[in-house]
Amino acid sequence: MASTTKTLVADVMTSPLETIAADATVREAAERMRDRNINALFVPGVDAGIVTTTDVVAAVADESDLETTTVADVMTAPVERITTAEELTEAAAMMTTFGIKHLPVIDDDGDYVGMVSTTDLTTQLA
C-alpha cells in the first residue's frame, strides 16, 4: 500500500530565517551568505524582499560599489511566500511558475519563520 503522508514545507524549511536590513551594503549581504553557507537572505520590513547570491553577482558584474550599494538597491520585492502548512509539491510548483529558487515561509499568524529552497526540495527527493 502506498503511503499517503505528504511532506509539508514546515518539515524541510530552513529555520530560523536568516535576515538582513534593507540598508545593509551588498558586501555585508555577501559576507553573511558566505559565513552562513546560504544563498539567500530575507529582508524584513514593510517592503519585504529577498536578496540572493544572483543579486550580488549581478551587482559585481554591473561594477556597483559594494560598499555603498544597499541591499534595497538589488533585492527582489515584493516576494512570493508560502505557508508552513503547504505541501512541498506546492512549493515546487510555485518555484517553477515564478522562476525562483527561494520562498520565504510564513506561519498561521503571517509571521516569516523560515525559507524553503530548491536545494531543500532536491534533498528531500534524494
Domain count, the chain: 1
Count of Cβ atoms closer than 10 Å to residue 8 Cβ: 16
Whole-model pTM: value is 0.88
Q: Is the peptide bond before 104 cis (omega within 30 degrees of 0)?
A: no
Residue 3 lies in a domain: no
DSSP letter at 84 equals T
pLDDT digit string, tens, across residues 73-86: 999 999 999 999 99
> What CATH number does the domain containing 27 carry?
3.10.580.10
CA distance 74 to 52: 9
Relative to beta strand 112-117, strand 102-106 is antiparallel
Classify residue 20: in a domain, yes or no.
Answer: yes
Is 83 a domain residue?
Answer: yes
Rounded distance, CA 51 to CA 48, Å? 10
Q: Does the residue 40 lie in any domain?
A: yes
The residue range of the domain holding 49 is 9-125
pLDDT at residue 126 in the model: 72
Model pLDDT for residues 22-80, shown as the tens digit of each residue: 999 999 999 999 999 999 999 999 889 999 999 999 999 999 999 999 999 999 999 99
Question: Is position 68 within any domain?
Answer: yes
